Structure 1
Amino acid sequence: MKQRSNSLDALRGLAILLMILSGSIAFGGVLPGWMYHAQEPPPDHVFNPALPGITWVDLVFPFFLFSMGAAIPLAIRKRLSADQSAGRIILHSAERYILLIFFALFIVHARAGVMSKTPGLQENLISVGCFILLFMIYGQWKHLLNYYAAMALKTAGVVIGLSFLFMYPFEDGFNVSNNDIIITILANMAFFGSLIWLMTRNSPLLRLGILPFIMAVMLAGGIPGSLNAFIYSWTPAPWMYNFNFLKYLFIIIPATFAGDWLILKEKNDTSIWKEADRRTGVLVTFVILLILICNVACLYKRFLILNFFLTTGFCALLFFGLSRMNDSSGVFKRFAKAGIYLLLLGLFFEAYEGGIKKDISTYSYYFVTSGLAFLLLTAFVILEKSLYLKPVFGFLSANGKNPMVAYTAGMLFLLPVLRMTGAEKLLDYMSNNAAGGFLRGVIFTGIVSLITFFCTRMKLFWRT
């Protein structure tokens, strides 16, 4: 059984590149509001939790979470098929959790702007050095070195990294609370998602049954003296874990079903597509794209009734298209049914909690984004099977196979290099108008994607 899915890697690659793009475009008043988080509108980008709606930017994190959740069954099934015990798998999940928490701490403190409020050549050089150091810690060296040499290299990297964190004279000092919240959440989701799937791999209904308990704690966690409040507030270390992180299990747990079904597809898909199937697949992909655009645009502009009826119509069209496709494994229909159910559930939750929001995230947000992620993964699986857009698909997949490199290459390598060479001023100069402000992000993201693509081709993977 394959441990990876190209479709899943492509979805992850798209999510990580869009995440980089959303952070590298021009900020201020040069671009419209839908180019940023809905709750942080231009020109001041002041967080306003009262603003309902989502933009494309609000989809990238849940899409990345979804790809992580869907990968859990593939990764653990591989270990189970290699006769690894449940205890060994849990230990590996704990090791991965610790490595990701360290990663979350390290990449923040490795930024030149954290080392000094006025970073110069030294701080930027150290940032680049930290990026290289991460290859020692997280690089997969077993194909180049023997086991002991690889472990020695990793150990040396960890020692140097810890020495940097504890000994470097950061302007505001080393602070464990100053970590990358996205990576911290991912660490918790990888750990708890793996535990839940491992315990419920043969009982999918039990897996779903965990979600109402999480919802109960979330809804009543603020009531003093209650069991819910105790569970919600308990934490051994708030910078590593708090119960609020577990709300994203509403994305991770549904995503694990996608992983289960990808395994099913690999086992049972014996169909050979003809040209008619490929053309139908393209039409189905187009309908999925319409559903995605419709929901983002209408929820952002608050055309809620129109969005519901358009979505319902597009979903009916989607089922019609899928019924005409050769789907021997039945996976396409499973994906579509799950995606449509979650999407419609999210739309019915939309009025609750003041409308759909990424921050502070709402139940509508979890369900809508999970549903859209299911549908987008359906489109990616179809594109992979139809062999259309193969170069683009391969490029996205290459970036998705190395997400840790993609996530850090911009902040720890490219940005310091641009500053040291003075090229950052050229990008800043482009931020005076909408076209230039968007192109600024495209150029930055493009370079990061090429760095990641190169590392993937050279088999320089970072893994936890």
Structure 2
Amino acid sequence: MPVRDKSLDALRGMAILAMVLSGSIAFGILPAWMYHAQTPPPAHSFQPSLAGITWVDLVFPFFLFSMGAAIPLALKKKVAQSAHSGIIVVTAFRRFVALVSFALFTMHARSLSAEQLSLPLVCLLQMLAFLLLFAQLYRWPSGSQVPPAIAYGIAILMLAFLPFKGGAFSLQHSDIIIVVLANMALFGTLLWWYTRRQPGLRSLLLLFVMAVFLAKDTSSWNKIVYNWSPLPWAYRFYYLKYLFIIVPGTIAGDWLLQYANTPAVQEKQTKNWLPLTVLACSCLLVANVILLFSRQTGLNMIITTVILAVLLVYTQRARAAEAYPLLVRFLEAGALLLLLGLCWEACEGGIKKDPSTWSYYFVSSGLAFFMMIILAALQATAIGGKLVNYLAENGRNPMVAYITGNLLLLPLLRLTNGMVAYKWMLQQPLTGVLAGFIFTGIVSMVTVFFVRRGWLWKT
């Protein structure tokens, strides 16, 4: 496999496009499994007691997993150059600041007040925000820092003087998804760097994070550590729970590097291993989403255990023949995490995204490993290879995909009265789903357009 494995970019691309799709389909009229499990239709009011997951609830952890896996790949040159730890720390903090700034600016740009400004002006300002982000995050070929500096200056003026819904600029008004990603970029990078030669230690350190969480409601130092934050709008200890997805991702990234130049040996006795494994992984993904959502947890545990037991026994042939070593590692890690997550499932009232449970981290990480296997296998087929390549292109520019809908497409729809047709489609289930796919398709085309011209945004 190439050092930059396309299955990793494809997983990221699939996650970001699924995120766009989940936010652009009709609300209130589709089956409950088309939305977050805890915000069922028709009111979509948050119900924290509801347990279960849907495909929508796997979108964010899959993106986090791919983010973790990218850390070793992004820093491999630093390792080869024996870079000083200070450089890595500065790089990690710089990315943290960039992502938090992105979270603040994009949320405020989406919240411009149409009551104090005219709607056309709001749309134009939102598209200006898109262009400013281009200037800030694009690596200019000349290396000039003038365009980013000008763009940051204009962005600061916008935040300082424009009216927003709810009042003026506020540090508390930011995109929580991006803030979590910022924290994971910082702590995930530092954790990987200082344990890059000891992945086992990396996993063990998570037990200390778990200990703080388990004792956060006691009258002890754990509670103090959990609640303390120098910048509550940018960091909370609660966000560190997502390291339980990032760290498995970093281990996947380590293996991607380790087996980058190792061919997938295919012996006669293992020629059927890959298609059977892909089939089993697909069944596990579908079964866990359906059965955990419908709360048939006992049946899900039985089905999952049986499939994994048969698959792991059959995998011994592949291991003995040293065939598909990377995918064998992915399978074993995914099986361990999924079973661990299902054992945790009964705790905390069942698997939930918000507040996220231990089961949620382990189950989603295990399923992410299985999705990596599926995407890696699809690369070897004609049609599957094209699909993976297309998803990978989206995954190479996720920041563009994330904001194109809100800061480019929706403003254009409002300016051209296209919003009338879009809202009409959202009134019926079938057209409401179709509208989401069309919306997501346009976002995807814009993203791929940027990628093919080398307009990559980097934080």
* 3-state SS of paired residue (2:260): helix
1:15 corresponds to which residue? 15
Does residue 231 in structure 1 map to residue 225 in structure 2? yes
Question: Aligned match of 2:278 in 274, 280, 285?
Answer: 285
2:155 corresponds to which residue? 161
CA contact (8 A) 1:254 1:370 kept: yes
After TM superposition, the score normalised by the length of structure 1 is 0.94
* 3-state SS of paired residue (2:105): helix
Question: Aligned match of 2:256 in 262, 267, 281?
Answer: 262
2:325 corresponds to which residue? 330
In the alignment of these two chains, the number of paired residues is 455
* 3-state SS of paired residue (2:53): coil
2:97 corresponds to which residue? 98
CA contact (8 A) 2:48 2:355 kept: yes
Cα distance in structure 2, aligned partners of 1:214 and 1:46: 31
2:146 corresponds to which residue? 152
Does residue 80 in structure 1 map to residue 73 in structure 2? no
* 3-state SS of paired residue (2:424): helix
Q: In the TM superposition, what whole-angstrom CA distance separates every residue of 1:326-354 from its partner, at most 9, and x where no partner exists?
A: 75462211111110111011101011000
Stretches of structure 2 lacking an aligned partner (at least 5 in a row): none
CA contact (8 A) 2:331 2:373 kept: yes
**What is the deviation of 1:382?**
2.3
1:181 corresponds to which residue? 176
* 3-state SS of paired residue (1:110): helix
Question: Residue 158 and residue 343 in structure 1: after superposition, are their counterparts in 2 closer, same or farther (change >3 A)?
Answer: same
**What is the deviation of 1:152?**
1.4
**What is the deviation of 1:110?**
1.0
* 3-state SS of paired residue (2:293): helix
Q: In the TM superposition, what whole-angstrom CA distance separates every residue of 1:75-114 from its partner, at most 9, and x where no partner exists?
A: 1122222343221111111111100000000111111x43
* 3-state SS of paired residue (2:259): helix
Cα distance in structure 1, aligned partners of 2:282 and 2:115: 43
Cα distance in structure 2, aligned partners of 1:348 and 1:133: 47
CA contact (8 A) 1:138 1:154 kept: yes
Cα distance in structure 2, aligned partners of 1:261 and 1:22: 31
CA contact (8 A) 2:266 2:323 kept: no
In structure 2, what residue type is equivalent to 1:236? P
CA contact (8 A) 1:273 1:386 kept: no
1:374 corresponds to which residue? 369
Identity %: 46
Cα distance in structure 2, aligned partners of 1:70 and 1:406: 20
In structure 1, what residue type is equivalent to 2:186? F
Question: Residue 348 and residue 159 in structure 1: after superposition, are their counterparts in 2 closer, same or farther (change >3 A)?
Answer: same
CA contact (8 A) 2:34 2:55 kept: yes
Question: Residue 287 and residue 406 in structure 1: after superposition, are their counterparts in 2 closer, same or farther (change >3 A)?
Answer: same
In structure 2, what residue type is equivalent to 1:11? L
**What is the deviation of 1:259?**
0.5
In structure 1, what residue type is equivalent to 2:327? F
CA contact (8 A) 1:288 1:318 kept: no
CA contact (8 A) 2:61 2:364 kept: yes
Cα distance in structure 2, aligned partners of 1:101 and 1:241: 10
Tell me which moved more, 240-249 or 210-219.
210-219
Question: Residue 273 and residue 117 in structure 1: after superposition, are their counterparts in 2 closer, same or farther (change >3 A)?
Answer: farther
CA contact (8 A) 1:69 1:256 kept: yes
Question: Residue 54 and residue 174 in structure 1: after superposition, are their counterparts in 2 closer, same or farther (change >3 A)?
Answer: same
RMSD: 2.0
After TM superposition, the score normalised by the length of structure 2 is 0.95
Cα distance in structure 2, aligned partners of 1:10 and 1:327: 26
Question: Residue 274 and residue 2 in structure 1: after superposition, are their counterparts in 2 closer, same or farther (change >3 A)?
Answer: closer
Cα distance in structure 2, aligned partners of 1:327 and 1:154: 49
* 3-state SS of paired residue (2:164): coil
1:392 corresponds to which residue? 387
In structure 1, what residue type is equivalent to 2:292? L
Question: Residue 26 and residue 327 in structure 1: after superposition, are their counterparts in 2 closer, same or farther (change >3 A)?
Answer: farther
CA contact (8 A) 2:270 2:323 kept: no
1:116 corresponds to which residue? 114
**What is the deviation of 1:375?**
1.1
**What is the deviation of 1:212?**
1.1
CA contact (8 A) 1:338 1:374 kept: yes
* 3-state SS of paired residue (1:340): helix
**What is the deviation of 1:281?**
2.5
Question: Residue 169 and residue 275 in structure 1: after superposition, are their counterparts in 2 closer, same or farther (change >3 A)?
Answer: farther
* 3-state SS of paired residue (1:308): helix
Does residue 271 in structure 1 map to residue 270 in structure 2? no
Cα distance in structure 1, aligned partners of 2:115 and 2:271: 55
**What is the deviation of 1:321?**
5.6
**What is the deviation of 1:273?**
5.2
In structure 1, what residue type is equivalent to 2:113? M
Q: In the TM superposition, what whole-angstrom CA distance separates every residue of 1:340-390 from its partner, at most 9, and x where no partner exists?
A: 111011101011000000011100101100110011112222222456511
Tell me which moved more, 115-124 or 88-97.
115-124
1:241 corresponds to which residue? 235
In structure 2, what residue type is equivalent to 1:89? I
In structure 1, what residue type is equivalent to 2:418? A
In structure 1, what residue type is equivalent to 2:455? L
CA contact (8 A) 1:4 1:75 kept: no
In structure 2, what residue type is equivalent to 1:344? L
* 3-state SS of paired residue (1:166): helix
**What is the deviation of 1:3?**
6.2
In structure 1, what residue type is equivalent to 2:150? A
Q: In the TM superposition, what whole-angstrom CA distance separates every residue of 1:234-286 from its partner, at most 9, and x where no partner exists?
A: 1111010010000101111111110001111103x123558997764333222
* 3-state SS of paired residue (1:155): helix
1:422 corresponds to which residue? 417
2:291 corresponds to which residue? 298
Cα distance in structure 2, aligned partners of 1:154 and 1:4: 28
Question: Aligned match of 2:216 in 200, 218, 221?
Answer: 221
2:454 corresponds to which residue? 459
1:252 corresponds to which residue? 246
In structure 2, what residue type is equivalent to 1:13? G
In structure 1, what residue type is equivalent to 2:44? H
1:191 corresponds to which residue? 186
2:43 corresponds to which residue? 44
* 3-state SS of paired residue (1:389): helix
CA contact (8 A) 2:34 2:56 kept: yes
2:308 corresponds to which residue? 315
Question: Residue 275 and residue 154 in structure 1: after superposition, are their counterparts in 2 closer, same or farther (change >3 A)?
Answer: farther
Cα distance in structure 2, aligned partners of 1:314 and 1:197: 32
CA contact (8 A) 2:342 2:359 kept: yes
Does residue 362 in structure 1 map to residue 357 in structure 2? yes
CA contact (8 A) 1:284 1:321 kept: no
Cα distance in structure 2, aligned partners of 1:278 and 1:432: 49
CA contact (8 A) 1:250 1:366 kept: yes
Question: Residue 419 and residue 318 in structure 1: after superposition, are their counterparts in 2 closer, same or farther (change >3 A)?
Answer: farther
